């Protein structure tokens, strides 16, 4: 083939490395880019076409740009918690090239087409990476779901337990069934915060600065029951569902069994569940609070086994920040959410390498699988025809997390002081360098819509 021409015109960039992560494994390659699209993945020593710029990153690893399908940007309305400017800068610095924004914690929430329009207008000029939106399923907005789907949201989020904000009420089982039936009618996807409210109500609660008390208030049974009920509804209605931020590894056999019978259920977990443990959380350290919670070491081992077995599909951040004053020392009232947008790749890689996993695995969990979940067929792999989105990683370099170097609006982080492997040396979006050694460039992200 004539490699000087791609589908989008002449090759203008060649990204070369001895370690390019492709769907067929990691190998030396030269990735030819034309007009922001990958034109070809060529041998390492391929001739650079006339007029193309060569970017040789040596033995740094070229990964597909990460796709983070679980980010709470909170903009507009709670922009002091986070915003599209700060969140997408943090994403770019951390190797993420696409993020999908959750429908809640912003005001308005993304629960009508008009609200989606407001969100898109706010995000457009601030996006340093590509940004798409999930819609929200509430007890009273079933009529809004199809219009939101047609307007390009990637699916719908619901809560089965209280969400933490009044404007985003939970669904009971009848309301879940009604929303699932509607969504299934147009071939959509429901993504679910799966904790059962009755199990949470029955658990011991109350004010405490001890992590063990908080953990007891969010038992594994709450997750296991909610996941079981969700699978039953998905089976009955033929619905496609996705379990968000799984913490309880006890639910994995349920999910594996349901899938083997053909129930359409996928599942994600998060960097904090894979890298932090309940045993190490100091008293009053509510930067570690999230719901469902970080659990014990043995549970974490079982989550890693779930990844190794292929039961867990995706690893995404659930970046859900707040202002520092809401992280009070009382676990029962502190805001629940962990910030890791800029750090997720390094945190997961640090633990993955210790457990014998490869960067091919990390790319699958953090890019290929989340892209597939959302139907983003131009994202998620270094392959001809996809967007030229890359995260370039120095996998053996280490750094110590200094909150001052984070681009998150609020620099409260459970990872402060940790030494992590894997420095993101550059991030590329459609062939343009959008971050260099942690320094973001000018915004060049686009707003994405579900493939129609
Ligand atoms: Zn979340």
- Distances 122 to 100, 116, 238 between C-alpha atoms, Å: 15, 10, 36
Query: What's the gap in Å between 283 CA and the centre of ligand 1?
Result: 24
Asked whether 64 and 38 are in contact (CB, 8 A), the reply is no
Higher pLDDT, 78 or 427: 427
Q: Number of helices (H) and strands (E) in the chain: give both, helices first.
A: 13, 20
Query: What's the gap in Å between 101 CA and the centre of ligand 1?
Result: 9
Query: What's the gap in Å between 290 CA and the centre of ligand 1?
Result: 9
Asked whether 435 and 441 are in contact (CB, 8 A), the reply is yes
pLDDT at 287 over 60: yes
Asked whether 89 and 58 are in contact (CB, 8 A), the reply is no
Query: What's the gap in Å between 152 CA and the centre of ligand 1?
Result: 20
Query: What's the gap in Å between 28 CA and the centre of ligand 1?
Result: 37
Query: What's the gap in Å between 238 CA and the centre of ligand 1?
Result: 25
pLDDT at 75 over 50: yes
CA atoms of 33 and 8, how far apart (whole Å): 9
Q: Which residues surround ligand 1, an ion (CB under 5 A)?
A: 318
pLDDT tens-digit readout, 313-352: 999 999 988 888 888 889 999 888 899 999 999 999 999 9
Query: What's the gap in Å between 148 CA and the centre of ligand 1?
Result: 20
What is the reported pLDDT for 326?
86
Largest CA distance in the chain: 69
Q: How does the average pLDDT of the chain come out, rounded?
A: 95
pLDDT tens-digit readout, 236-274: 999 999 999 999 999 999 999 999 999 999 999 999 999
Q: State the average pLDDT over residues 358-382.
A: 98
What the block records as the tokens of 255 is: 């999910």
Confidence of residue 361 (pLDDT cuts 50, 70, 90): very high
Q: State the average pLDDT over residues 199-227.
A: 96
What is the reported pLDDT for 121?
98
Query: What's the gap in Å between 393 CA and the centre of ligand 1?
Result: 26
Asked whether 118 and 153 are in contact (CB, 8 A), the reply is no
What is the reported pLDDT for 7?
53
Query: What's the gap in Å between 4 CA and the centre of ligand 1?
Result: 44
Query: What's the gap in Å between 105 CA and the centre of ligand 1?
Result: 10
Query: What's the gap in Å between 192 CA and the centre of ligand 1?
Result: 10
Query: What's the gap in Å between 102 CA and the centre of ligand 1?
Result: 7
What is the reported pLDDT for 295?
98
Confidence of residue 8 (pLDDT cuts 50, 70, 90): low
Q: Say which residues have a Cβ less than 8 Å from residue 364's Cβ, sequence separation at least 6.
A: none
Query: What's the gap in Å between 299 CA and the centre of ligand 1?
Result: 20
Query: What's the gap in Å between 296 CA and the centre of ligand 1?
Result: 21
Q: Range with the lowest mean pLDDT among 97-111, 144-158, 360-374, 404-418?
A: 404-418
Helices 220-237 + 252-260 axis angle, to 10: 10
Asked whether 179 and 137 are in contact (CB, 8 A), the reply is yes
pLDDT at 69 over 90: yes
Query: What's the gap in Å between 329 CA and the centre of ligand 1?
Result: 21
CA atoms of 146 and 173, how far apart (whole Å): 20
Query: What's the gap in Å between 3 CA and the centre of ligand 1?
Result: 43
CA atoms of 284 and 270, how far apart (whole Å): 22
Query: What's the gap in Å between 417 CA and the centre of ligand 1?
Result: 24
Q: State the average pLDDT over residues 147-164.
A: 97
pLDDT at 2 over 70: no
Radius of gyration of the chain (CA): 21
Asked whether 207 and 327 are in contact (CB, 8 A), the reply is no
What is the reported pLDDT for 4?
55
In three-state form (DSSP H/G/I as H, E/B as E, the rest C), the secondary structure along 233-286 is HHHHHCCEEEECCCCCHHHHHHHHHHHHCCCEEEEEECHHHHHCCHHHCCCCCH
Burial class (CB in 10 A: 0-12, 13-18, 19+), 409: buried
Query: What's the gap in Å between 27 CA and the centre of ligand 1?
Result: 35
Query: Per DSSP, what are the bridge partners of residue 29?
Result: 17
Query: What's the gap in Å between 42 CA and the centre of ligand 1?
Result: 39
Q: 302: closest CA among 224, 210, 193, 373? A: 224
What is the reported pLDDT for 1?
46
Query: What's the gap in Å between 294 CA and the centre of ligand 1?
Result: 14
pLDDT tens-digit readout, 178-191: 999 999 999 999 99
Question: Could you please report the per-residue DSSP string of 146-191?
Answer: HHHHHTT---EEEESS--SSTTSPPP-HHHHHHHHHHHHHTT-EEE
Angle at 57 between CA 54 and CA 60, to 5 degrees: 155
Q: State the average pLDDT over residues 282-297.
A: 96
Which residue segments constitute the domains of the chain, with CATH numbers given? 5-62+389-398+417-440 (2.30.40.10), 65-374 (3.20.20.140)
CA atoms of 427 and 113, how far apart (whole Å): 32
DSSP annotation of 48: P
Q: State the average pLDDT over residues 43-60.
A: 96
CA atoms of 92 and 127, how far apart (whole Å): 10
pLDDT at 290 over 70: yes
Asked whether 313 and 268 are in contact (CB, 8 A), the reply is yes
Q: 70: closest CA among 324, 269, 323? A: 269
Query: What's the gap in Å between 321 CA and the centre of ligand 1?
Result: 10
Query: What's the gap in Å between 266 CA and the centre of ligand 1?
Result: 16
Helices 173-185 + 142-150 axis angle, to 10: 30
Confidence of residue 298 (pLDDT cuts 50, 70, 90): very high
Confidence of residue 97 (pLDDT cuts 50, 70, 90): very high
What the block records as the tokens of 379 is: 């994202």
């Amino acid at each position: 083939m004539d490699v000087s021409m791609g589908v989008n015109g002449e090759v203008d960039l060649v990204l070369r490395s001895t370690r390019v992560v492709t769907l067929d494994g990691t190998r030396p390659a030269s990735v030819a880019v034309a007009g922001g699209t990958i034109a070809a993945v060529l041998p390492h020593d391929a001739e650079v076409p006339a007029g193309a710029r060569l970017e040789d990153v040596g033995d740094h690893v070229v990964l597909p740009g990460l796709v983070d399908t679980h980010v709470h940007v909170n903009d507009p309305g709670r922009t002091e918690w986070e915003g599209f400017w700060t969140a997408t800068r943090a994403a770019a610095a951390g190797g993420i090239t696409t993020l999908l924004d959750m429908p809640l914690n912003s005001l308005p929430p993304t629960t009508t087409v008009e609200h989606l329009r407001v969100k898109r207008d706010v995000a457009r000029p601030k996006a340093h990476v590509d940004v798409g939106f999930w819609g929200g399923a509430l007890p009273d907005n079933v009529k809004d779901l199809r219009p939101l789907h047609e307007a390009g949201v990637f699916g719908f989020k619901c809560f089965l337990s209280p969400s933490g904000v009044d404007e985003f009420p939970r669904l009971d089982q009848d309301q879940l069934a009604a929303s699932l039936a509607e969504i299934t009618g147009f071939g959509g996807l429901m993504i679910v915060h799966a904790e059962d409210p009755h199990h949470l109500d029955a658990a011991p609660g109350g004010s405490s600065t001890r992590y063990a008390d908080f953990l007891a208030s969010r038992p594994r049974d709450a997750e296991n029951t909610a996941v079981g009920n969700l699978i039953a509804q998905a089976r009955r209605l033929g619905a496609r569902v996705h379990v968000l931020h799984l913490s309880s590894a006890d639910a994995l056999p349920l999910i594996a069994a349901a899938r083997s019978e053909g129930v359409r259920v996928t599942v994600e977990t998060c960097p904090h569940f894979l890298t932090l443990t309940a045993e190490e959380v100091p008293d009053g350290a509510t930067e570690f609070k999230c719901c469902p919670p970080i659990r014990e070491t043995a549970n974490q081992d079982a989550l890693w086994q779930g990844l190794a077995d292929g039961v867990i599909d995706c690893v995404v951040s659930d970046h859900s920040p707040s202002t520092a004053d809401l992280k009070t020392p009382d676990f029962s009232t502190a805001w629940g959410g962990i910030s890791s947008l800029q750090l997720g790749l390094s945190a997961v890689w640090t633990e993955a390498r210790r457990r014998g996993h490869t960067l091919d695995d990390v790319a699958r969990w953090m890019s290929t699988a989340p892209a597939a979940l959302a139907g983003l067929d131009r994202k998620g792999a270094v392959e001809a025809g996809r967007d030229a989105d890359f995260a370039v990683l120095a996998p053996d370099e280490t750094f110590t997390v200094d909150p001052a170097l984070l681009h998150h609006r609020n620099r409260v982080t459970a990872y402060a002081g940790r030494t992590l492997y894997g420095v993101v040396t550059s991030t590329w979006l459609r062939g343009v360098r959008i971050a260099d050694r942690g320094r973001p460039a000018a915004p060049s992200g686009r707003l994405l819509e579900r493939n129609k």
